[in-house]
Structure 1
């Protein structure tokens, strides 16, 4: 994800991921807005099973639950 720098890039990356993890879903556990720093932080857990074709290897049938945090910074005051 090192090259992901915009919301558009992220959504395209997720479309690719969901081709081989078609049941992928998020469980948002925390959401916070920081007006002083002009950002929003989201903590959640991604759940999914590798059952679809098109990934880095043939489907394994293995499942994952992965914690993640996204921090989105705004260039203009839109919080």
Structure 2
């Protein structure tokens, strides 16, 4: 909600000032949450990535699965583990 309101401040020429702290905070927010911004949600994205990893027609045998595993913490809520 906060970032939606900041977007509206910018897009609709509201009277609120947008400065470098907003930009830096938004950048950190994006970096931390980027894996969650996917169609159908984070869990489905991760599960499909794991399925694709173990499909030899999509991923060469011997390729590390670490990138998919590393996304779990930021893409899936703990209650969904």
| Structure 1 or 2: more helix by fraction | 2
In the superposition, the TM-score normalised over structure 2's length comes to: 0.27
Rg larger in structure = 2
